[in-house]
């Protein structure tokens, strides 16, 4: 699992440089070890932000200014606008450098950053989604055509958590999206993934990642 964490965080490191709503609640800042850092917005799973403080701190130790939000506070009648508001709040943190952010989300939060964040190239540079909720994606090809950011998805081969995080949807996205990297987890997960019992019990072959052949170069524009 440590290797997978390093893979995801390394992907973030390569790409991170590149409507007014009510303020989102439940944010917590994890500043970098020294000074200020590029902003990474982390969205928790349905079980709430406290369970994801550890991984937020890990990302912050790499030199990023991490702002953790509870997915339940992001889920509104206008989730896209609420997510934008979260980014605005994160960019105002004391240790935040100006510029676009990176999105990292888990389960419910993974679905939020995948479905909404991947269509926000004006404020973000990359999306990393761990076992994201994808139930609402009924047409993977059509959704993939709307994606505007590089995406790394980590998903379980045998994940069928009440239909929320089907591996078949992840594979269809990998087939159709121009800049989408899929890492399938073939073994029973530990650490991050283990928080959700319904995401366990994964077994089978090691699957290929998407090639991402049409992926644009990472932007280092901080504007």
Mean pLDDT of each 10-residue bin along the chain, 223 residues long = 61 50 69 97 94 95 97 95 96 97 96 97 96 93 95 84 79 92 69 41 34 47 37
Identify the pLDDT of residue 8. 65
Helix 2-15 vs helix 53-60: crossing angle, to nearest 10: 50
**What is the C-alpha R_g of the chain?**
16
Q: How is domain 2-16+24-199 classified at the architecture level of CATH?
A: 3-Layer(aba) Sandwich (3.40)
Looking at residue 72, its pLDDT comes to: 94
**Domains in the chain: boundaries:** 2-16+24-199
**Helix, strand, coil: what percent of the chain each, to 5?**
35, 20, 50
Give pTM, 2 decimals: 0.79
What is the pLDDT, as a whole number, of residue 110? 96
- What percentage of the chain reaches a pLDDT higher than 70? 70
What's the confidence (pLDDT) of residue 10?
61
């Amino acid at each position: 699992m440590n290797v997978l964490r390093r893979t995801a965080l390394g992907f973030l490191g390569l790409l991170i440089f590149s409507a007014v709503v009510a303020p989102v609640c439940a944010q917590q800042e994890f500043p970098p070890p020294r000074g200020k850092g590029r902003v990474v917005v982390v969205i928790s799973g349905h079980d709430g932000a406290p369970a994801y403080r550890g991984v937020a701190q890990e990302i912050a130790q790499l030199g990023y200014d991490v702002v953790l939000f509870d997915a339940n506070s992001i889920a509104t009648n206008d989730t896209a606008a609420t997510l934008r508001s979260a980014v605005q709040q994160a960019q105002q943190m004391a240790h935040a450098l100006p510029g676009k952010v990176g999105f990292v989300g888990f389960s419910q939060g993974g679905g939020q950053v995948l479905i909404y964040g991947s269509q926000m190239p004006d404020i973000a540079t990359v999306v990393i989604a761990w076992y994201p909720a994808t139930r609402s994606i009924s047409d993977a090809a059509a959704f993939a055509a709307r994606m505007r950011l590089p995406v790394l998805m980590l998903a379980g081969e045998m994940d069928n958590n009440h239909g929320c995080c089907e591996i078949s949807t992840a594979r269809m996205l990998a087939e159709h999206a121009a800049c989408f990297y899929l890492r399938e987890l073939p073994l029973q997960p530990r650490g991050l993934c283990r928080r959700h019992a319904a995401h366990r019990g994964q077994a089978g072959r090691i699957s290929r990642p998407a090639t991402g052949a049409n992926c644009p170069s990472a932007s280092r524009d901080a504007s």
